Each structure stands twice: as C-alpha cells, then as structure tokens.
Amino acid sequence: MYASDEDVAHVGQGFLDRSLPREDWTHAAHFAATLWLMRHRPDMDLARDMPGLIRAFNEAKGGVNSDTSGYHETITQASLRAARPFLDANPPDLPLWQIVGALMKSELGNPNWLLEYWSRERLMGVDARRAWMEPDLKPLPF
C-alpha cells in the first residue's frame, strides 16, 4: 500500500493542496491523510477543519457535497475518533507508513467497519451525513 513516509506525505499533502488524483482518494488514503495530518499538522483541529478540507477536495475533483454524496459528517468524525488512539498507541518515531499499514490490517481497514456501530439506514441517512449522529447499535470504543 504505502512503502515509505514519503508515500504517505504525498497523499496527505496532495489532499491538502488538492493535487491528489480523485482515483487515489481511497479508504486507505483517507486514513493515510488523516494520520499524516495528525502527526505533521498539530496546528490543525481536525474535528473542526476536516469537514471543510474534504468538501473542498471533493469540489476540486468535480464532486458534489449533497444529501446523497460527497462529505459525510458522521463517517468523518467517527474516523477521526478511531484514528487518533490508533496513532497514539504507537511510538512517535515509528514510521507513519507502518502505522497506516497496521491500521489497514485492523478492523478499520474494512470500509464497512462503521456498520458494527451504526445500522446502515441510520449511517447512510441524510441526518448522519449532515451532522454527527451517535451510533445506534453499540457505542464506539474510542
């Protein structure tokens, strides 16, 4: 997936400056960019800043942020809540590409990991796309 910290930085910086090709904005890339930002941009409040960054990236790539596509608040905030403890559980000098690889081998690597906590209809509903909604199946462990 990623063979170096430079690969992860390419994703993170490409997300920020919107130069990352749309087809490279995968589930793994979402987490790679998030972990890179957490480690290298401590000046950013990702819970606050990530929504605007994702919306801008989507629009720059021709996407639409609507009630049915594009930015999703609950998925974003849940992913941030999952990524932070995963990063913090590793030594600060461990190469980030290794952390991303380990995360992708964990339950978080499955794009459907959220369905353990939210029913599909609640998670994919307009309300969850627009604003944070608590899980309806079981609480998040983070």
* DSSP output for 10-62: HHHHHHHTT-S-GGG--HHHHHHHHHHHHHH-TTS-HHHHHHHHHHHHHHHTT
Q: What is the DSSP letter of 114?
A: G
In a domain, 17, yes or no: yes
Range of the domain at 48: 5-130
In a domain, 95, yes or no: yes
In a domain, 34, yes or no: yes
List pLDDT tens digits, range 14-58: 999 999 999 999 999 999 999 999 999 999 999 999 999 999 999
Give CA–CA dist 85/49, Å, rounded: 19
In a domain, 48, yes or no: yes
In a domain, 136, yes or no: no
What is the domain count for the chain?
A: 1
Which sign, positive or negative, has the C-alpha torsion 66, 29, 12, 23?
negative
In a domain, 142, yes or no: no
Task: Determine what percent of the chain is predicted with pLDDT higher than 70.
Answer: 100
In a domain, 135, yes or no: no
In a domain, 101, yes or no: yes
- Give the pLDDT score at 1: 87
Give CA–CA dist 113/99, Å, rounded: 18
